[in-house]
Structure 1
Amino acid sequence: MGTAVRRQYAPLTLRSIPGRIRDGLSSFAGHSPSRFAIFIFTALVLLFTLLFSLPIAAADGKVTPLPDALFTAVSVICVTGLSTVNMATHWSDFGDVLVFIGVNIGGIGVLTLASILGMVISRRLGLRAKLMAASDTNPSRLHVGPVNEGQTVRLGEVGNLLATVAVSALAIEAIVALVLFPRMLAVQVPVGEAAWHSLYYAAMAFTNTGFNPNPEGLTPWADDFVFLSALMFGVILGAIGFPVIYAIARGWRKPRRWSVHVKLTLVTFGLLLVAGAALYILLEFDNPKTFGHDNAVDTIFQAFFLSAMTRSGGFSTINIADLHGSSLLVSGMLMFIGGGSASTAGGIKVTTLAVLFLAAFAEARGNESMEAFGRRIPRDILRLAVSVVLWGATIVAVSSIAILQITKAPFDFVLFDVISAFATCGLSTGLTAELPPEGVYVMALTMFMGRIGTVTLAAALASSVRRQLFKRPEERPIVG
């Protein structure tokens, strides 16, 4: 009978092992969602590094060196677009499929991805998973927990948001691919290659990655406004953020009811797009290597295309190294700002910049609080915005110093590529492809820290959130 009992309960013990693993992961995710998200992202990078190292992933059938495999994995998962190898010729068909899958996974977002995995672990979208997904649309929840303001997406709508992420990604990439396909056939690209490349370009546009499967880059379509407009369409929709797409899809007929987050994102994004194009026209109209030989219409269009790509798109019809130093600085500023929150774009985000300007305007007018679109913005959002900018500036500064010391390259080229890495943009002066192994590792770490987000990183490093039950005496230092 003892043997029968052991046989009866042995399968139960074996079946409980996956359950214990699932419970352990669920507990870890609930205790620290930000650390769980970073854990998932790190695991994905390591997995793709291993896959890119396989001989089957390279076109020549050889093992890709570790620095190149690791850098490509980080760039793919972080949807950056920088590369140390020729993405159009180095990888095999298997490697190209890995890139395609990786950028779509990375484009979902760190915390949104963790939420979906948490949903798989718990077999349902519970409160913990909703909190993680909600924090991706509103980073302040990482600091103060669920908040009361109606900005971005409410906690009860997170399930719909995750559905919107999947549906919008598939729909937008499909639309872009359908536009690109006939334009490729028009330049005599074979049907099979045109079908694959149209899907590839569409994924790179929407995820704001910018990898190019064509050895000639965008040269065959440099004057094709339809092709380039389709890429801009995908990049902009990916860069404004899933909460904005969700709000527009749900209430496009009633823009007055959009949240402050949606309005701030659209207004700031639009102003930066126009301002960037205007500056490129002003600074590059006489540059024979860029826009100097174009007519007025072509110059305006190409300026808007470049301005859109600095949102984090990564595509370019010109050699970035040919830009004037002033244009490189403007590009660096635009890349550092990036796109919208909870988007495929990087940078400090346009709403962060908007909050800083609103605070400056409020201070200049003597107002006690920040206001936008008839709503008051809490002061803790300002502290969060300042933290994001300082963290981002620190990462860029430290990485730039390291790369300068390693390469002795020109400062403007180093600063541009480092900002591009931090903002997961993908535009490059050509410096990244020439980095030695130690420089490759520094740039890979910069991409990783830029993608996981300064807010997420800060929250993950914080051991706990303390509630202080007393206030110290106040004293005002001199500022300015």
Structure 2
Amino acid sequence: MPANTTSRGLAHEVRRTPLRRIRDFIDFLASTSSARFAILVFSSLILIWTLLLSLPISARDRQVTPLADAFFTAMSTICVTGLSVVDMATHWSTFGTVVILLGLQIGGIGVLTLASIMGLVVSRRLGLRQKLMAASDSNPLRLHHGPVVEAQAVRLGEIGGLLATVAISSLIIEGAVALLIAPRLLVEGADLWSAVWQSFYWSASAFTNTGFTPTPEGLAPFATDPWMLSSLAIGVFLGSIGFPVIFALARGWRTPKRWSLHVKLTLTTTLILIVLGAIAIYVLEVSNAATLGAQDPAAGPMTATFLSIMTRSGGFSTVNISEMNGSTLLVMDMLMFVGGGSASTAGGIKVTTLAVLFLAALAEARGDSDMQIFDRRIPTDVLRLSVSVVLWGATIVATASIAILQLTKQPLDFVLFDVISAFATVGLSTGLTAELPDAGKYILAATMWAGRVGTVTLAAALAASQRRQLFRRAEERPIVG
């Protein structure tokens, strides 16, 4: 090799800035598996937030927060769950509250999307690898099959626009919700600074579908306030439909016929579940004097609708969940397990997963060979992925429920409710979570982690590589049903 070529190579290495070296190292990690890289970043963030919340400066009494409580709060924050084992309004100092709010934003945006935005800022361009990472966050199918066509919510070439939409829409929506809430807090008697601070806290907690409250009394002063409840419901709804849907609506809200199948399925299924959930909650609780039965006829339906929206993953509640009937808790279990839209701040198995399973059952009942909706055909690999998501989710919920039942000896309906709330990152609780021993906190924290990381991402990360088989075995049909 010529000496001048070697010199140029060494000079190039010397000229590499620390920022460039960090970017190249991250690029190398991401190239092996975007799913594993996401889990690594996600878990690292949780450990960092645990350390920050453990510092004496994070607590209002300047004492070290116990490790189990700090870890659980960090997990609940980054996972945007909203479950808590301490009083969020009184335990944390201003520093601790700022750390929590920052964690909500990071968790709400999503690890893969955040990593892509950071890569864009560092390199001032969005390369193919970063586009694939962001695409995986908006479409889990790419984790298994690479770029696809039929089920794409956002095309690969539009990922740069999606990232801009994520950042801009988050700021705009949270700012708009804060502007709606601030005047109401001023009318309630809060001073200007408290109204501004609390309104931002409420709006960030609503849009990220977390459910943390900035005051000890929570929503109690606004239990029947249509303005406050509607503002929070709007924030939760927009956060739960997913950034690809917001992106599509921002581009073509006037032309619904041109919306993608993902957008149509997400909006349709979400609205149906909200309406059916509100009706079920109202019918089951209207005679319960401890919940809706104590409210006037106009407030009852509003509360039922609010609670139905909160099961998307919102986590706010105006009634005592532990006072609800067992039948209502079971209905809310099912709604929470479904959750919100894909690539959203909500958790659960996602509404499109439920829609695909329903369409598969409908096609089977009709004798159709394909799943069809809105003049489109859904391929069978989407159905396989949907079944996998449900089975993994049910397995996680069942395992965590059995462990906590054995540990606490509490009633099944309370345990199941809080476990599903953790898995679906909802944040509603019967009161069981706050009373858990340290072992129970770690179990519920692991459930939150599995639910937020996503069953598809988790399965893809555990798989060393996609199996390639050069032959097909003989086909035989077992008896099913």
TM surpasses 0.5:
yes
Query: Once the 2 structures are TM-superposed, how far is the Cα of residue 117 of structure 1 from its aligned partner?
Result: 3.4
Superimposed CA distance per residue, residues 413-454 of structure 1 (whole angstroms, 9 cap, x where no aligned partner): 000000000000000001101111111100101001100100
Q: Take 2:186 and 2:366, find their aligned partners in 1: how far apart are those partners?
A: 58
TM-score by length of 2: 0.96
**Aligned AA (1:125):** L
Of 269-278 and 459-468, the range deviating more from structure 2: 459-468
Query: Once the 2 structures are TM-superposed, how far is the Cα of residue 31 of structure 1 from its aligned partner?
Result: 1.8
Structure-2 residue corresponding to 1:301: 302
Percent identical among aligned pairs is: 65
Structure-1 residue corresponding to 2:141: 140
In the TM superposition, 1:24-39 aligns within 5 A as 24-39=25-40
> 3-state DSSP class of the match of 1:345?
coil
Q: Take 2:121 and 2:443, find their aligned partners in 1: how far apart are those partners?
A: 34
> 3-state DSSP class of the match of 1:209?
coil
8 Å Cα contact 2:151-2:378 kept in structure 1? no
Structure-2 residue corresponding to 1:315: 316
8 Å Cα contact 1:45-1:73 kept in structure 2? yes
Query: Once the 2 structures are TM-superposed, how far is the Cα of residue 125 of structure 1 from its aligned partner?
Result: 1.0
Structure-1 residue corresponding to 2:233: 232
Superimposed CA distance per residue, residues 240-294 of structure 1 (whole angstroms, 9 cap, x where no aligned partner): 0001111111001100000000000000000000000000111000000001022
Superimposed CA distance per residue, residues 359-392 of structure 1 (whole angstroms, 9 cap, x where no aligned partner): 0000000000101100000000000000000000
Q: Take 1:372 and 1:295, find their aligned partners in 2: how far apart are those partners?
A: 41
Structure-2 residue corresponding to 1:288: 289
Of 15-24 and 260-269, the range deviating more from structure 2: 15-24
Q: Take 1:12 and 1:267, find their aligned partners in 2: how far apart are those partners?
A: 54
Superimposed CA distance per residue, residues 324-352 of structure 1 (whole angstroms, 9 cap, x where no aligned partner): 00000011100000000000000000000
Q: Does 1:187 align with 2:191?
A: no
Structure-2 residue corresponding to 1:40: 41
> 3-state DSSP class of the match of 1:376?
strand
> 3-state DSSP class of the match of 1:312?
coil
8 Å Cα contact 1:26-1:121 kept in structure 2? no
8 Å Cα contact 1:335-1:347 kept in structure 2? yes
> 3-state DSSP class of the match of 2:377?
strand
8 Å Cα contact 1:119-1:125 kept in structure 2? yes
**Aligned AA (1:151):** Q
**Aligned AA (1:216):** E
Structure-2 residue corresponding to 1:3: none
Structure 1: 5+ residue stretches without partners: 1-5
Structure-1 residue corresponding to 2:200: 199
**Aligned AA (1:305):** F
**Aligned AA (1:337):** V
8 Å Cα contact 2:224-2:303 kept in structure 1? no
Structure-2 residue corresponding to 1:378: 379
Q: Aligned residue pairs: how many?
A: 475
Structure 2: 5+ residue stretches without partners: 1-6
Of 12-21 and 275-284, the range deviating more from structure 2: 12-21
Q: Take 1:290 and 1:17, find their aligned partners in 2: how far apart are those partners?
A: 59
8 Å Cα contact 1:36-1:114 kept in structure 2? no
**Aligned AA (1:250):** R
8 Å Cα contact 2:150-2:379 kept in structure 1? no
Q: Take 1:470 and 1:411, find their aligned partners in 2: how far apart are those partners?
A: 47
**Aligned AA (2:250):** A
Alpha-carbon RMSD across the aligned residues, in angstroms, is: 1.7
8 Å Cα contact 1:81-1:426 kept in structure 2? yes
Q: Take 1:12 and 1:308, find their aligned partners in 2: how far apart are those partners?
A: 55
Structure-1 residue corresponding to 2:248: 247
Query: Once the 2 structures are TM-superposed, how far is the Cα of residue 27 of structure 1 from its aligned partner?
Result: 1.6
Q: Take 1:311 and 1:350, find their aligned partners in 2: how far apart are those partners?
A: 9
TM-score by length of 1: 0.96
